[in-house]
């Protein structure tokens, strides 16, 4: 993400009020025109398990031989953690994000909560692997990678563990890559409502076009190259 985008996110974080603790909305599907569909998990905890957990808020259900509440991934102040619930979880640490799984250190069977950093991959049983990727230090929002993705009961192109800010655009640091966009933007979640804003240009650039777009639930909205549909999941 470029420096202009970073400055914009910092400004938005400064403007935002503390997130309400009384939200009943935990999961939505974000459909982006010409990009794809993504499940946004808004709670701090997400449970991963077998298909019997489908239709439960905050639950990622997989077509696999896992218990309904197999493992729990949690967002903490300093990052993400994983802990076993009713199933076996093991973690492999890599020296780099591009290192293959078999080249990493031996898997460690977990008995308690442990940090899940960008260079860790967790195995749930023998069929599914998950990892959490924080794309930018400016946001606690992270991408939940499920391997293989087609094991998910929800047919989506990806899963995002969303805090308050979700970065979208053509850059490699975006949580959701939008290759055809000319500029990046931020989806903001605050007190049960969503809003999309494009990055703010330099103050001397009076011709920089600013997009400021409310994104209500269950209603398609679009402006210029941006088009969204936020579908209530439950």
**pLDDT tens-digit map of 210-223:** 888 999 999 999 98
User: Which stretches of the chain are DSSP H helices?
Assistant: 3-15
Pairing mode of beta strands 71-76, 158-161: unpaired
What pLDDT score was predicted for residue 6?
56
For 50-108, the pLDDT digits (tens) are: 998 887 878 999 999 999 999 999 999 889 999 999 999 999 987 655 544 444 444 67
54 and 34 share one domain = no
Distance CA 168, CA 174 (A): 5
Confidence class for position 208, pLDDT limits 50, 70, 90: low
Q: Do residues 101 and 128 make contact, with C-beta atoms less than 8 angstroms apart? A: no
Which of 19-33, 71-85, 201-215 has the least mean pLDDT?
Answer: 201-215
Range of the domain at 24: 1-42+162-234
Q: Is the pLDDT of residue 201 over 60?
A: no
Do 48 and 121 fall within a single domain? yes
26 and 50 in a common domain: no
**How far is it, in rounded angstroms, from Cα 152 to Cα 89?**
18
Q: Which residue has the higher pLDDT, 187 or 111?
A: 187
Highest mean pLDDT among 38-42, 93-97, 117-121: 38-42
* Separation of alpha carbons 177 and 97, rounded Å: 18
Q: Does residue 155 form part of some domain?
A: no
Give yes or no for a contact between 158 and 38, defined as CB atoms under 8 angstroms apart: yes
pLDDT tier, 177 (very low <50, low <70, confident <90, very high otherwise): very high
Give 135 or 33, the one with higher predicted confidence: 33
Number of domains in the chain: 2
Confidence of residue 7 (pLDDT cuts 50, 70, 90): low
Say if 149 falls within a structural domain.
Answer: no
Give this prediction's pTM.
Answer: 0.83
Query: Do β-strands 226-232 and 220-223 pair in parallel, antiparallel, or remain unpaired?
Result: antiparallel
Give the Cα separation of 134 and 81 in Å (integer): 12
Q: Is the previous residue joined to 205 through a cis bond, with omega within 30 degrees of 0?
A: no
> In this structure, what DSSP letter does residue 121 have?
E
Query: Using an 8 Å Cβ cutoff, are 159 and 141 in contact?
Result: no
Distance CA 108, CA 123 (A): 10
- Segment 179-194 shows an average pLDDT of 91
Asked if residue 102 belongs to a domain, the reply is yes
């Amino acid at each position: 993400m470029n420096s202009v985008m970073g400055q914009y996110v910092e400004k938005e974080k400064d403007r935002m009020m503390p997130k309400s603790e009384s939200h009943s909305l935990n999961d939505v599907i974000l459909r982006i025109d010409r990009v794809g569909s993504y499940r946004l998990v808004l709670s701090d905890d997400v449970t991963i398990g077998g298909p019997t957990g489908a239709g439960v808020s905050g639950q990622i259900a997989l077509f696999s031989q896992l218990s309904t509440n197999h493992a729990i991934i949690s967002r903490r102040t300093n990052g993400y953690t994983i802990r076993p619930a009713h199933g076996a979880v093991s973690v492999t640490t890599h020296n780099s994000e591009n290192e293959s799984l078999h080249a990493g250190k031996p898997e460690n069977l977990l008995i308690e909560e442990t940090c899940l950093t960008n260079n860790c991959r967790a195995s749930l049983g023998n069929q599914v692997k998950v990892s959490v990727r924080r794309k930018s230090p400016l946001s606690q929002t992270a991408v939940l990678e499920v391997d293989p993705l087609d094991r998910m009961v929800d047919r989506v192109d990806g899963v995002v563990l969303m805090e308050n800010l979700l970065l979208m655009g053509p850059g490699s640091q975006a949580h959701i890559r939008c290759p055809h966009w000319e500029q990046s933007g931020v989806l903001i979640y605050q007190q049960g409502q969503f809003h999309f804003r494009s990055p703010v240009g330099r103050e001397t650039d009076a011709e920089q076009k600013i997009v400021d777009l409310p994104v209500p639930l269950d209603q398609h909205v679009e402006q210029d190259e941006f088009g969204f549909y936020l579908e209530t999941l439950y």
